[in-house]
Chains A and B, each alone.
Chain A
Amino acid sequence: MSLGSSHATGTPPTPGADLPEHPDLLWRDTEPKRTYDVVIVGGGGHGLATAHYLAKNHGITDVAVLEKGWLAGGNMARNTTIIRSNYLWDESSGIYEHALKLWEGLEDDLGYPILFSQRGVLNLAHTLQDVRDSVRRVEANKLNGVDAEWLEPDEVRKVCPVVNTSTDIRYPVLGATYQPRAGIAKHDFVAWGFARRADEAGIDLVQDCEVTGFTTDGDRVTGVRTTRGAIGAGTVVLCAAGHTSVLTDMLGIRVPIQSHPLQALVSELLEPVHPTVVMSNAVHVYVSQAHKGELVMGAGVDSYNGYGQRGAFHVIERQMAAAVELFPVFARAHLLRTWGGIVDVSPDASPIVGRTPYENVYLNCGWGTGGFKATPGIGSALAHTIAHDEPHPLVAPFSLDRFVTGALVDEHGAAAVAH
């Protein structure tokens, strides 16, 4: 557009005509085709990452990602962005450490800045049992090649001076586990980076496209019905997090997850005061400081089942009480914004990934409160699973049938996870 031409004709200038041109779009907003080799339901982090790795690692590009809202507008837009791999059990540290290694090269892979900052994570111990569990987890992490250290209170103070390590508080800090390679990333940029790469590979990202049903033929799903028409599918992958049960109910598959609100919040912008990530199960809060300066905080889920993307205010109040106990310096910070996501919690607090009773439907759910950190790891493992029609070794332990065999991956309370 030539600027100022409207002035010459005497008509008023078009509002905004003097602004720079719209930047290039990161992905096409596509109409769905009639059929795809692979249909991924859910355009959040996991769905977009799976699409990217299908193209990059396996050359599979006849793929659609169907998103009922806008890309990465669910939990991907609502999490606290903590990335770590210091889980207790081999199965968990396997998939999360695989993810962390991919995070370490992700900016180069995506050719897009994601502000991945390896500022470390402290998981505080407040009781003797906490200390024993934490030391055990550090040793387990080391055996699994995950960086981990046990820090005494004075060392905790050196890593994060704003943590209250005095001995006269209700839950004194008796030490902490420390994973230096852990950190945070800019969640939106991560999603946009994956979306851009998937789009470049020719994968269709279809927004405003809600799956309303499935067409089946015996043990196979032949396609999905959507608000934008019917779409045929060679393979269907469910990456719908908190809404997984809505989809599996349509398919008649029972999945042992419960959807809960999970709230998070940010303070107003502050000078850099908090150099790392701090989590505490006993006092129940986790805190980091975003690049811009907000304190980002979260805690456990709201107790009841909920699909409302919001939670109860008394839960926020408790989080704040916990945060101020651990960080007295935050007492005068103002709460700026709170929000909620819908997390799909499984009985053993581990994800459910892999085969379903339909031979060409793969499930990826149950990540509960911890799905963001897994994004590149599950994307690559799920893409491998689809490409080879065989669960990747890193996701094989997380099969749906473990609830029948009893081979649970029981991370409830065992990991450094705040539930």
Chain B
Amino acid sequence: MQLIACPWCGPREEVEFHYGGQAHVPYPDSPAELSDEEWALYVFFRDNTKGRFAERWNHTTGCRRWFNAIRDTTTYRFESVYRLDDPKPPVTELARSRRSTAP
């Protein structure tokens, strides 16, 4: 079983975590002004990236906090984890941030 490095608790077994799908999907600024199509895009449509994907995870049976991760959807390997208030790491910095996630 793979270990996932919770930013607060450190590496824990995958079964302790709950998947939350694509990260960085902001709530619409002006919800009342959205068209049906814009609502559909916000509610139903998410990227389905083959490769490095920024996504949300919750450490359900640990600290119960949400965090973000960059994970490769072809290898399932986590490349970095970061807090919700951290900006999305640029792809060029992935190698460096991967090292920095080691607790």
Binding site for B on A (CB under 8 A): 243, 245-246, 254-259, 303-308, 312-314, 347, 403-406
Which one, A259, A308, A403, contacts B48 given CB within 8 A? A259
**B50 adjacent to A246 (CB under 8 Å):** yes
Are the C-beta atoms of B15 and A254 separated by less than 8 Å? no
CB-CB under 8 A for A304 and B50, given A314-B15, A403-B40: no
The bracket for how many chain B residues form the interface is 20 to 34
CB under 8 Å from chain A, chain B span 9-50: 14-15, 18-19, 21, 36-37, 40-41, 43-50
Q: A403 near B45 (CB under 8 angstroms)?
A: yes
Given A304-B19, A306-B76, A307-B50: A314 touches B1 (CB 8 Å cut-off): yes
Chain B 55-71 residues near chain A, CB threshold 8 A: 55, 71
| CB of B100 closer than 8 Å to a CB of A | no
Whether B1 lies near A312 (C-beta < 8 A) is: yes
B82 near A: Cβ within 8 Å? no
| Residue of B1, B41, B55, B74 touching A304 (CB-CB under 8 A) | B55
Please measure, in the bound complex, the distance between the C-alpha atom of A210 and the C-alpha atom of B11, giving whole angstroms: 38
In the complex, what residues of A have CB within 8 A of residue B37's CB? Answer: 404
A371 to B22, CA, bound (A): 25
| Other-chain contact of A256, B1, B15, B44, B73 (Cβ < 8 Å) | B44
CB contacts (< 8 Å) of B74 on chain A: these are 306-308
Neighbouring B residues of A306 by C-beta, 8 Å: 73-74, 76
**A160 to B72, alpha carbons, bound, how many Å?**
43
CB-nearest residue of chain B to A304: B19
Contacts of B50 in A (CB 8 A): 243, 245-246, 259, 307
B48 lies within 8 A of A314 (CB)? no
- Complex contacts, B41 vs chain A, CB 8 Å: 254
A146 to chain B minimum Cβ distance, whole angstroms, is 29
B75 contacts chain A at the CB level, 8 A cutoff = yes
Say how far A217's CB is from chain B's closest CB, in angstroms: 25
Contact residues in B for A243 (Cβ distance below 8 Å):
50
A78 to B50, CA, bound (A): 20
Q: How far is it, in angstroms, between the C-alpha of A314 and the C-alpha of B76 when the chains are bound?
A: 15
B36 and A313 form a contact (CB under 8 A): no
Given contacts A258-B21, A312-B14, A314-B15, contact A305 B1 (CB under 8 A): no
Q: Which residue of chain B lies nearest to A257 when distances are taken between CB atoms in the complex?
A: B48
Which of B2, B36, B44, B48 is close to A305, meaning CB atoms less than 8 Å apart?
Answer: B48
Interchain CB contact under 8 A, A304 and B45: no
Q: How far is the CA of A74 from the CA of B39 in the complex (A)?
A: 34
Bound CA span A305–B14, Å: 14
- Chain A residues contacting B75 (CB-CB under 8 Å) are 308
Query: Which of the residues B36, B45, B55, B73 comes within 8 Å of A254, measured between beta carbons?
Result: B45
CA distance A193 to B41 in the complex (A): 40
User: What's the least CB distance linking A234 to chain B, in Å?
Assistant: 28
Question: Please, how many angstroms separate the alpha-carbon atoms of A306 and B48 in the complex?
Answer: 9
Partner of A258, one of B43, B48, B76: B48
A245 to B53, CA, bound (A): 14
With A314-B14, A404-B37, A404-B40 in contact, do A308 and B76 touch (Cβ < 8 Å)? yes
Asked whether, in the complex, the Cβ of B73 is within 8 Å of the Cβ of A308, the reply is yes
- Chain A residues near B47: list those with CB within 8 A: 245
Contact A258 B14 (CB under 8 A): no
Provided the pairs A256-B46, A259-B48 are in contact, do residues A305 and B18 lie with their beta carbons within 8 angstroms? no
**Given contacts A306-B76, A312-B2, A312-B14, are A258 and B46 in contact (CB under 8 A)?**
yes
A314 surroundings in chain B (CB, below 8 A)? 1, 14-15
Q: Assuming A306-B76, A307-B74, what are 5 further A-B pairs, CB within 8 angstroms?
A: A243-B50, A258-B46, A305-B21, A404-B37, A404-B40
Residues from chain B with a CB closer than 8 A to the CB of A258 are: 21, 46, 48
Smallest beta-carbon distance A404→chain B, Å: 4
